[in-house]
């Protein structure tokens, strides 16, 4: 009986530990996910122009830089990034295959990924607000979907 109880306790402890963002200082040159491809980042203005012209408002492969405003405190599975034009993008990790440390907040990063302008549902907006540990009042205030810039990241590199 003790072995069963110990096994159950260990299982739940593993679940709590594995649900944390990875540790790390997010130093310049650190990268998460795939190594960033070589090349110059596009400006935020160029990205927005390219998205408006593109079919389905999607650019399949782009390099973009921005400042990390927020990191998912639960797992490090998404970030909010402010681009040079003050546009804020929600960045998720491709295939949920990598996570970023909380220390990434406030850092300048280069992101390699797919960008799109898409509508985020009320349910997803509420889920993101819950992940960000917003108050119940803030979560309840979300009643409309939101059109926003989204990036599905293959890799993220700390540049400053």
| pLDDT confidence band for 114 (50 / 70 / 90) | very high
Supply the DSSP symbol for 12.
H
Q: Which class does domain 22-158 fall in?
A: mainly beta
% of the chain exceeding 70 in pLDDT? 88
d(CA 154, CA 76): 15
Q: What is the pLDDT of residue 21?
A: 76
List, for residues 68-88, the tens digit of each pLDDT value: 999 999 889 999 999 988 989
d(CA 50, CA 33): 25
| pLDDT confidence band for 10 (50 / 70 / 90) | very low
- Arithmetic mean of pLDDT over the chain: 86
pLDDT at 132 over 50: yes
Show the tokens assigned to 52: 């408006």
pLDDT at 2 over 70: no
pTM: 0.81
Q: What is the pLDDT of residue 40?
A: 86
Q: What is the pLDDT of residue 67?
A: 96
Asked if 69 and 104 touch (Cβ cutoff 8 Å), the reply is no
List, for residues 36-79, the tens digit of each pLDDT value: 888 888 888 888 888 888 878 888 888 999 999 999 998 899 99
d(CA 99, CA 84): 24
Supply the DSSP symbol for 42.
B
Q: What is the pLDDT of residue 108?
A: 96
């Amino acid at each position: 009986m003790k072995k069963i109880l110990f096994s159950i306790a260990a299982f739940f402890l593993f679940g709590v530990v594995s649900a944390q963002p990875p540790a790390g200082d997010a130093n310049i040159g650190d990268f998460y996910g795939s190594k960033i491809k070589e090349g110059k980042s596009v400006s935020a203005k160029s990205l927005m122009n390219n998205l408006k012209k593109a079919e389905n408002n999607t650019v399949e492969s782009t390099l973009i830089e921005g400042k990390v405003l927020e990191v998912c405190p639960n797992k490090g599975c998404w970030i909010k990034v402010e681009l040079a034009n003050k546009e804020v993008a929600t960045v998720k990790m491709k295939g949920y295959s990598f996570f970023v440390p909380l220390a990434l907040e406030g850092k300048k990063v280069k992101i390699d990924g797919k960008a799109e302008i898409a509508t985020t549902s009320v349910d997803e907006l509420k889920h993101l607000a819950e992940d960000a540990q917003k108050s119940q009042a803030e979560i309840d205030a979300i009643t409309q979907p939101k059109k926003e810039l989204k990036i599905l990241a293959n890799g993220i590199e700390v540049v400053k």
